[in-house]
Structure 1
Amino acid sequence: MSISLSGQLADALLHTRPRDEQRQRAREGVVDYFACLLPVQLGLLDDAGLEPVRRAFPAQPGSDNHALQLGYMSHALDFDDYHATFRGHPSAVVLSTLLTLAQSLPHLDRNAFLDAYVVGVELCGRLGKAIGTRHYAAGLHSTATLGGIAATGAACRLLHLSVEHTQVALGLAATQAAGLRAQFGSAGKALHAGFAARQAVDSVRLAQGGFAAQRDAVLEAFLDILGLGAARPDDLLAGWGAPWRISVPGLEFKRYPTCGGTHSAIEAAFALRVAEGFSLEAIDAIEVSFPPGADTAPSIRQAQTGVQGRFSLEYVIADALLNGVIALERYGEQAVEPAIAALAGKVRRVPDLSAPADELDPDLRFHRVTLHLDDGRRLSHCVTRKQTAAAPTDVLAKLRSNLHALPGERLDALCADLQLADDAALHRLVALIRCH
């Protein structure tokens, strides 16, 4: 009798072994996660959604609501990592799940923790390939719909579940999957990561406790139904870990606290800002072109708040041209800055119909920003997604910048622990994110 898809997946999750290179990539992901989580958790940056979340979902350390809070906080700034094949944010869900479960593991091994994280990212990327091209385009948010399944797989690895229990857990996560891109530009998007992490914790604990649910055919049904006719289930396992998805294409660590679908537009605007021979006052109009559908995520055209500005090509281009930096403090819940909004009003989207549709291959995405000047000249610059992704991000520098309000000694100790040189460092990080 042939082994089911969920049985094969469970075996891969539990028994494949990452190497030191993947563990080092995982360490970088842990640094970036804390760089995004702690400013919100410690109250260094205002987030109006946090207190309602804490009141609605009161949590004890290690509880499913603890995972929800961590998922929400780590994604609240929209500054956390991104994975191209997944089309979502792996660590906000996977690490929030693992760190929650780690609260009840007194003998926590850092390599086992990192390996669970690696296989969780692997499953994120694999699910992104297997679900096909229509899932995200139809309006579903992969961080929510796929992230809970991936985090469940990582949790099964961390807790050493059996193949059979892992199959049950994966199926339970799949049957809870939900999340709409219509929430983008609001705190509802960050709550997607929280819900997915909570679902993962619940799924693995139900399976661990012997809950009787379907072991087989659930993942197949999930891919078939939510793949909307474009699923490729064979891609879920083909070439598993060769290369590991945490290495290739790898986690992308954001340099700007805005939607990843805006970053090459930001960099094109930066390049134009330093061009000689014109002033911002001389700009009559601005065009931004891109492959058809490449503005699916940054869909907000007239941002009213900084949070909405994260998902507005118009607003980020104007900010980049005016200020030369995309500052975290301008992308909170306050009203947009009038000068940026005024320049954003001159931006027009012009999809490049000669380029292949974005959903066919997001790696081919580009943004070309063109300035139309009052003397008739045009200045244009194009940056591709590949160019943006290839530029390295110093995650420790990002953490220090985001947490600059902390005392220097405390910040230095945190940076040392984030190297995960021993198991004690991991235990200190786990203690750091206990419920408040």
Structure 2
Amino acid sequence: MTDSLTQRVAFLIAHAQPDEAACLRARQGLVDYLACTFPVLTRALPDPDLDTVRQQFPPTHAAYRALLLGYASHALDYDDFHADLRGHPSAVILSTLFALLGAASNVVTPSAFLAAYVTGVEMAARLGLAAGHQHYVIGFHTTATLGGVAATAAAARLLGLSVAQTQVALGLAATQAAGLRRQMGSSTKPLHVGWAARAATDAVQLAAAGFDGQKEGVIESLLLSHGGSVEWLAQLTSGWGAPWRIVSPGLEFKRYPTCSGTHSAADAALRLRKQLLAEGMAPTNFESAIASISVRFPVGGDTAPAITGPVHGIEARFSLEYVIADALLTGALPLSHYTAAPVIPAIALLAKRVVRQPDASVPPDADNPDLRFHHVQLRLHSGRAFDACVARAESRTWQADPLQKLYEALNRQKVLDVSAAVADAELTSIEALQRWTKRLMAALEC
């Protein structure tokens, strides 16, 4: 062994042995991934650009299958989130793994598949920690830039690449790392995931075939060039798998189909709605009764949900104003409000009364996003005021049930036996893994 960080990381990837707790969490992540991917692939929920992507990248080989799966899995922006990455690891990682399974002739066991997935999440989380907060703040979309390298780690573990081959694969993925946060609110954001999954698939297949590439310094180069001069390289290897990052801090399964940076604001608005209802106010009178709404948060706490005047539901996923107004008026954030359809006029009208108030009296969000809060206050024309404050740490405990999400997704499609599908999704047998792989590959051809 040398002092190369890239080699140390490759060694950890090649020899990763996740425990049962990590594999249990991986099963939950897999269910959530399938629930978010199938409705889009089968057009149970329409997507404005899926057909365009499919036409340009027909699923004729593994890399294009990874791209299509990546796009579909993130199209709803409902897939899981990891705080260390500040992004969505499973969409990239599982899209890559399933694409490779669809092309493989050898049989892969569920334990090997889950171990690869856990390894990928570990890599994603540690890349996020090592890159530091400035990577995201200066404008990179971490799911795209770091997610592709993490997916490469998972795929290298799945295919049993040697340490040297893994080093080459990581370098091939790292040199393709790209994606700008400015694309949020458009179909390019899920395409970032597809591109990252394609890059990971190409990287491991080339490395496995003996393709040459730099083995030393590639991970260091990625972090130093993308970290905004704030990097902690030791975070990449120190304490690897102790505990596995898929367990702690763990995957977060979205409760709402909006940017995770809006969730505590939505929860605060829902509490305000309950207060208004307790006062005997009817929801039909909210719009006329509310004079103003303010939302306070640490400086930088609105970096991701930066869109103030969304035109359609995809942009609305990244609008604090729209999410707060939706929660107040409807008492929910239904998926139907966050598609490519135009924003709902009544919600958009109330959203215009929401004013952002970054709070400079508390540490900035970049110092520790886990300390983020949203303090929402509304004032009625009568002069009465109501307020509610929810911290991200509190909001993240209110997560969706992946099994219920999958049940609802498959029930809408009416194409699979729901109870059998849910049991299958927990991957208790090789046959279950093969069935899901075949279903995904068949859906790609639709």
Work out the number of aligned pairs and report it.
435
- Report the secondary structure of 2:190's partner residue: helix
1:357 matched to 2:356? no
Give the deviation of 1:54 after TM superposition.
0.4
RMSD: 1.1
Counterpart in the other structure of 1:297: 304
Counterpart in the other structure of 1:93: 92
Preserved contact between residue 81 and residue 251 of structure 1 (Cα < 8 Å): yes
CA distance, structure 2, for counterparts of residue 433 and residue 328 of structure 1: 22
- Report the secondary structure of 2:359's partner residue: coil
Counterpart in the other structure of 1:222: 222
**Residues 75-90 of structure 1 aligned to structure 2 (within 5 Å):** 75-90=74-89
Counterpart in the other structure of 1:2: 2
CA distance, structure 1, for counterparts of residue 105 and residue 182 of structure 2: 37
Alignment-mate amino acid for residue 344 of structure 1: A
Give the deviation of 1:413 after TM superposition.
2.0
Counterpart in the other structure of 2:43: 43
Preserved contact between residue 370 and residue 392 of structure 2 (Cα < 8 Å): yes
Deviation string 1:7-47 (CA, Å, 9 cap, x unpaired) is: 11011111121111111100000000001000000110110
Deviation string 1:341-400 (CA, Å, 9 cap, x unpaired) is: 110011000011111111110000011110011121210000111001122421111112
Preserved contact between residue 269 and residue 376 of structure 2 (Cα < 8 Å): yes
CA distance, structure 1, for counterparts of residue 116 and residue 398 of structure 2: 27
1:306 counterpart (307, 313, 316): 313
Preserved contact between residue 44 and residue 403 of structure 1 (Cα < 8 Å): no
Alignment-mate amino acid for residue 78 of structure 2: F
**Residues 119-198 of structure 1 aligned to structure 2 (within 5 Å):** 119-198=119-198
CA distance, structure 2, for counterparts of residue 414 and residue 177 of structure 1: 35
1:336 matched to 2:335? no
Counterpart in the other structure of 2:432: 425
CA distance, structure 1, for counterparts of residue 73 and residue 99 of structure 2: 13
- Report the secondary structure of 1:212's partner residue: coil
Preserved contact between residue 300 and residue 309 of structure 1 (Cα < 8 Å): yes
CA distance, structure 2, for counterparts of residue 132 and residue 407 of structure 1: 44
1:323 matched to 2:340? no
CA distance, structure 2, for counterparts of residue 288 and residue 20 of structure 1: 42
CA distance, structure 1, for counterparts of residue 163 and residue 2 of structure 2: 15
1:26 matched to 2:26? yes
CA distance, structure 1, for counterparts of residue 122 and residue 270 of structure 2: 34
Counterpart in the other structure of 1:235: 235
**Residues 108-123 of structure 1 aligned to structure 2 (within 5 Å):** 108-123=108-123
Deviation string 1:169-205 (CA, Å, 9 cap, x unpaired) is: 0011000000001100000000000000000000111
CA distance, structure 1, for counterparts of residue 398 and residue 105 of structure 2: 37
- Report the secondary structure of 1:290's partner residue: strand
Give the deviation of 1:401 after TM superposition.
2.1
Alignment-mate amino acid for residue 320 of structure 1: A
- Report the secondary structure of 1:289's partner residue: strand
CA distance, structure 1, for counterparts of residue 105 and residue 33 of structure 2: 21
Alignment-mate amino acid for residue 157 of structure 1: R
Preserved contact between residue 16 and residue 115 of structure 2 (Cα < 8 Å): no
CA distance, structure 2, for counterparts of residue 370 and residue 13 of structure 1: 48
CA distance, structure 2, for counterparts of residue 6 and residue 48 of structure 1: 40
Alignment-mate amino acid for residue 293 of structure 1: G
CA distance, structure 1, for counterparts of residue 220 and residue 110 of structure 2: 33
Counterpart in the other structure of 1:274: 274
Preserved contact between residue 71 and residue 193 of structure 1 (Cα < 8 Å): yes
Give the deviation of 1:105 after TM superposition.
4.1
Counterpart in the other structure of 1:373: 380
CA distance, structure 2, for counterparts of residue 399 and residue 308 of structure 1: 25
Query: Given the superposition, is the C-alpha separation of residues 304 and 409 from structure 1 closer, same or farther in structure 2, using an over 3 Å criterion?
Result: closer
**Residues 388-427 of structure 1 aligned to structure 2 (within 5 Å):** 388-407=395-414, 410-427=417-434
Alignment-mate amino acid for residue 37 of structure 1: T
1:265 matched to 2:272? no
Alignment-mate amino acid for residue 257 of structure 1: P
Alignment-mate amino acid for residue 268 of structure 1: A
CA distance, structure 2, for counterparts of residue 110 and residue 402 of structure 1: 23
Alignment-mate amino acid for residue 200 of structure 1: A
- Report the secondary structure of 2:295's partner residue: strand
CA distance, structure 1, for counterparts of residue 409 and residue 403 of structure 2: 10
Provide TM-score, normalisation by structure 2.
Answer: 0.96
Counterpart in the other structure of 1:345: 352
Give the deviation of 1:409 after TM superposition.
6.0
2:294 counterpart (244, 264, 287): 287
Provide TM-score, normalisation by structure 1.
Answer: 0.98
Query: Given the superposition, is the C-alpha separation of residues 315 and 392 from structure 1 closer, same or farther in structure 2, using an over 3 Å criterion?
Result: closer
Alignment-mate amino acid for residue 264 of structure 2: S
Give the deviation of 1:405 after TM superposition.
1.8
CA distance, structure 2, for counterparts of residue 247 and residue 90 of structure 1: 13
CA distance, structure 1, for counterparts of residue 11 and residue 320 of structure 2: 43
Instruction: Give structure 1 stretches of 5+ with no counterpart.
Output: none
- Report the secondary structure of 1:390's partner residue: coil
CA distance, structure 2, for counterparts of residue 407 and residue 299 of structure 1: 37
CA distance, structure 1, for counterparts of residue 149 and residue 262 of structure 2: 27
Give the deviation of 1:107 after TM superposition.
1.0
Percent of aligned positions with the same letter in both sequences?
Answer: 51
